[in-house]
Structure 1
Amino acid sequence: MKLYHLLALLPLIGLTVGMPFANRVTPYIFGMPFILFYIVLWMVLTSGIMAIVFKLDPVNKEEA
């Protein structure tokens, strides 16, 4: 298993393991309860992480 495969597991770990710790309403961030902000944050981070994994994966660098 390559390092970029482990990088792809970060969103899963962040959302499943971190959810009980983020399960609170206050504080409000950008008008959202903290739990909703936490989920939206991980959605944005997941997009960035998957873009990095795509760039690091050598299969995507092969010519068609």
Structure 2
Amino acid sequence: MKGIRWLMALPFLGILGGIPFANKVTPYILGMPFILFWLVGWVIMTSVIIGIVYHFDPKVKEKQA
């Protein structure tokens, strides 16, 4: 899993690259405008992605041994 760190680029692309796509107010999801839901969703997914990268990073396993 050498290239697992490339997952860290997904939140950057999702937040900054998706803003023009998600710049809408009318569809309300969970009581939030769509753009706010988009940003909150990416914040949560960023935490998940960081956890995945941490779990599969071989350098972390070397330091624990």
TM-score (norm 1): 0.91
Find the aligned partners of 1:59 and 1:3 in 2 and give their Cα distance.
Answer: 13
| TM-fit CA distance, 1:44 | 0.5
More helix by share: 2
Structure 1 unaligned regions, length at least 5: none
| TM-fit CA distance, 1:3 | 1.8
Deviations 1:18-50 (A, max 9, x none): 111000101000000000000000000000000
| TM-fit CA distance, 1:61 | 0.5
The residue that corresponds to 1:45 in the other structure is 45
Larger RCO, structures 1/2 (Cα 8 Å, 6+ apart): 2
| TM-fit CA distance, 1:8 | 0.8
Find the aligned partners of 2:7 and 2:20 in 1 and give their Cα distance.
Answer: 22
Question: Which contiguous aligned blocks of 4+ residues in structure 1 show a shift greater than 2 angstroms?
Answer: none
Aligned Cα RMSD in Å? 1.1
TM-score (norm 2): 0.90
The residue that corresponds to 1:14 in the other structure is 14
Aligned length: 63
Find the aligned partners of 1:41 and 1:21 in 2 and give their Cα distance.
Answer: 14
Find the aligned partners of 1:12 and 1:32 in 2 and give their Cα distance.
Answer: 22
Structure 2 unaligned regions, length at least 5: none
More strand by share: 1
